[in-house]
Amino acid sequence: MNKTIMSIIAIIVIISAIIIGVQICKPNKEQEDIITKVSDEKIEDDCTDEYQEIQEEMLQANSTEEKISPNCFITMKKTYNKCGHTTSEYIAIPKELVNKTKEDLEEKYAGWTIDKFSDTQIVISKKEEGECGEHYIVKDKEGKVVIYKLLEDGTENEYEVTDISTEYITDTDKLSKAYAVLMDKYDSGSSQPNTIEFFNKTEDVTGTWVKSLALSPKTSIYKFGQIASSNTNGTSTYSSSYVGYKTSINITYEGNYEQWKHFIKYINTYASKCTIDSLAASYGESTGTVSGTAVISLYSIEGGDRKFSEPKFNSKTGTENIFSSGSLTTN
C-alpha cells in the first residue's frame, strides 16, 4: 500500500514538473507579439537600408556622368592635310544620342576626336586627306563677274556666272578684293606652339621625319600704312596696326626620296605663306633615305581685327622622376 502511494506521488511530481517547465519555456501572447514585431522591424530596416544604398549609388552615378540633352548641338570640324584649311558643320544632336554618355558618343563617331563635351555643346574633329574643296577665284568673262572653283589638280571649274558687269566694279573694289585675297595667304599670328603644330602637320602629311628644330623669335619685316600716296601731299592716306612678321626655323630631317619630294612640295604649296630659305640634302644608297638640314620661314600678318588662336595639344608630357623610366602623365 505504501509503495503504491509513493508511486502515485512520484508520478504526480514528475507530471507537475513537466507542466511547470513547459509553462516557463513557452512565451505568452504578448511576448510572441514583441518577438514578431522586433523581427519584422529588423527585416524592414535591413531592406530599407539596402534600398537607400542602391538609390544613393544611382543618384551618384547620375550626378557624375554627364548626359547629352535634347537641345545639344554638335560642331563637326574637319582639317584637310593638303591645304591646311578647317571646315565646320553644325548639326542638332541625333535622337539616338539624347540622354547618352560620352562613351556612347565615341562609339557613334568612331575615328573622331572629342574636343569638348557637355550636355548642350559638343565639338568633334578629324583629319582628312586632300583639300577642303572650298577654294574659289573671281574672274572677268565677257564683261561679267564669274566665280570659278579651284579643283585639287589645279584646274578651274566654272561655279557661278553672275549678272554683275565688270564695268561697274570700281578700282577700289578690285583692290579691296585683291587685298583680302593677299591677307588670307598669311597666318593671323605666330607662336612657338603654332610652329610646332606646323611641323607636326608636315610630318603627318609627308611622312618626313623632322628630327630636330631650333625655334627662334619672330622678327618684324613690314609695317602697314608706311607708304605715302602719290595723290596726296606726301603723307600716308591711312593708318594701320598691321605688322608683318617672319619666323625662321632651322630643322634636320630624314625620309625616303618620295617623302622628301612631298616635303618640298607641301611647304611650297602650303595654304599659308611659308618658304624654304635653304636646303641641304644627302642620299644614303644603302638605306635609301634622304637626310639633311633646312631653314624654313613662316610668315604672319598680325594686329587690328585679325584674331589668332593658339593650337591645342593632347600630348603626353612630364614625369614624376626624370631619372626613372616611369610612365608619362597627360596634361
Are 73-128 and 192-330 equal in CATH topology? no
Which residues of 11-170 form beta strands (DSSP E)? 73-80, 86-92, 113-117, 121-128, 136-141, 144-150, 156-165
The predicted-structure confidence for 309-325, as pLDDT tens digits, reads as follows: 888 766 566 667 767 65
Task: Give the sign of the dihedral formed by CA 20, CA 26, CA 28, CA 34.
Answer: positive
Angle at 78 between CA 258 and CA 209, to 5 degrees: 30
Q: Is the pLDDT of residue 255 over 70?
A: yes
CATH number, domain 192-330, options 3.60.20.10, 3.30.70.60, 2.60.40.420, 3.90.1150.10: 3.30.70.60
Least confident of 7-11, 97-101, 251-255, 297-301: 7-11
Residue 157 has pLDDT above 70, yes or no: yes
| Structure confidence at residue 246 (pLDDT) | 93
Determine what percent of the chain is predicted with pLDDT higher than 70.
72
What CATH superfamily is the domain 73-128? Answer: Bypass-of-forespore C, N-terminal domain (3.10.20.420)
The residue that leads in pLDDT, 31 or 171, is: 171
Check residues 97 and 238 and name the one with the higher pLDDT. 97
**pLDDT tens column, 30-49:** 555 555 554 555 545 555 56
pLDDT above 90 coverage of the chain, percent: 26
Task: Please state the domain extents for the chain.
Answer: 73-128, 136-184, 192-330
Query: Using one digit for the tens of pLDDT, what is the confidence trace for 61-75?
Result: 455 678 898 888 888
Assess whether pLDDT exceeds 70 at residue 13: no
Mean pLDDT taken over the chain: 78
